[in-house]
Structure 1
Amino acid sequence: MRLFVAVNPPAEAVDHLGAQVARLRVGAAAAAGAQVRLADPADLHLTLAFLGDVEAGRLVDVESALGLAADSFGADRNVPPRLRLGGGGVFGDGRRTVLWVDLRGDVGALHELGRLVRERLRVAGLPYDEKPFRPHLTVARPGDRMDPAAVEADRTDLDGYAGPEWPTTELLLMRSHPGSGRSRYDRLAAWPL
């Protein structure tokens, strides 16, 4: 099973972001039929840890580790962290160009949650990607189908974006089903924060 750990923004934040993306150059290009891949609003998530392929027999270990991380995180807080989407950035270049939106608000708490998740996975001897945690939400994959200057202009436009604030109330274990085109995601378990 291909697994990752995430928190999801609520529908209100996703809809607000979708309206913003539609006004960007990537949104106009996608609407005009260009092969610019916009992120599916139903799949938007903030990945805290990517585990990759995990044997089905280890699922109970993953769930136990995440439950302990959520409990540790919640024990230190009276209220869930409040976040909002805002700002933007670009990863990669050429055909690997990705446009993303940043996070604002209690981002330090999100980093702490990510640290706890990774620590518990490590203690349980579970695999995870050890790249530095950079909270973001991918909005488009323009690749090399758009002029880099247009992508940079969209990134600049996202710098002025501020979505609605929301409480981060649950930690999710997700399964990814990669395929040709878009991946499909299933929610396997959740823990309150």
Structure 2
Amino acid sequence: MRLFAAIHPPPAAVTDLTARVAELRIAASVDARLADPAHLHLTLAFLGDVSDERLVDVESALGLAAQSFRHGRVSSPRLRLGGGGTFGAGRSTVLWVDARGATDALDMLSRLVRLALHRAELPYDDKPFRPHLTVARPGDRVHRADVRADREALHGYAGPEWPADELVLNRSHLGRAPRYTRLAAWSLHPAAGC
């Protein structure tokens, strides 16, 4: 099964972003492949394919990472979605929105998650962590000028602030309309105990 660890923005942040994305040029394109608002997330670590037998090890590693993160924190990190950019080129072009606010805390959480996975000898993608949320995969199906205009339009976007209060383990189901299943979650609130 394909797994990843993530932070999910709350419904108010998703609703605000969805309204902003609806105003973009790509929203009018049937070929843009907009991200499903129900699945928006900030990936902390992508594990890729993990055997069913190792699921307990993954859950244990993420639980330890969440516990380490909570230790010594006064509150959950406060974030907001804002700004934007693109990754890739041609068929691989992705339009994304930045995470802003306490991103240093997100960096720390990502490092703790990856360290726990490493110690448990579990796979993960070791690309540098860049907190972002994918909003569309226009690829080369949408004119580059429209993608550039939307990227520029997102520069002025600033969504509502929200606490990153939960680390979530998700299973990814591939296909034309990818979907994600929530498998487990751990509180990031310091009051949840260590």
TM over 0.5: yes
Q: For residues 138 and 125 of structure 2, what CA distance do their matches in structure 1 show?
A: 25
Amino acid at match of 2:90: G
The structural deviation recorded for 1:27 is 1.2
What is the match of residue 88 of structure 2?
92
- Counterpart selection for 1:51 from 47, 51, 60: 47
- Residues 109-149 of structure 1: CA distance to partner in whole angstroms, max 9, x if unpaired? 00000000000000110000111111110001111122212
1:173-188 → structure 2 map (5 Å cutoff): 173-179=169-175, 181-188=176-183
- Residues 44-74 of structure 1: CA distance to partner in whole angstroms, max 9, x if unpaired? 0111001011111111111111111000000
The structural deviation recorded for 1:28 is 2.2
- Is 1:191–2:186 an aligned residue pair? yes
The structural deviation recorded for 1:95 is 1.6
- Counterpart selection for 1:162 from 126, 135, 158: 158
> What is the aligned residue count?
188
Q: Secondary structure at the match of 2:57?
A: helix
1:23-102 → structure 2 map (5 Å cutoff): 23-29=23-29, 34-102=30-98
What is the match of residue 191 of structure 2?
none
**Unpaired runs of 5+ in structure 1?**
none
Q: For residues 154 and 160 of structure 2, what CA distance do their matches in structure 1 show?
A: 14
Q: For residues 118 and 139 of structure 2, what CA distance do their matches in structure 1 show?
A: 34
Q: Is the 8 A contact 2:58 2:122 kept in 1?
A: yes
**Unpaired runs of 5+ in structure 2?**
189-194
- Counterpart selection for 1:135 from 127, 131, 135: 131
RMSD across aligned positions (CA) = 0.8
Amino acid at match of 2:15: D
Percentage of pairs with the same residue: 68
Q: Is the 8 A contact 2:77 2:102 kept in 1?
A: yes
- Residues 161-184 of structure 1: CA distance to partner in whole angstroms, max 9, x if unpaired? 0000000111001111112x0112
Amino acid at match of 1:36: A
Q: For residues 116 and 7 of structure 1, what CA distance do their matches in structure 2 show?
A: 14
The structural deviation recorded for 1:41 is 0.3
The structural deviation recorded for 1:76 is 2.3
Q: Is the 8 A contact 2:31 2:142 kept in 1?
A: no
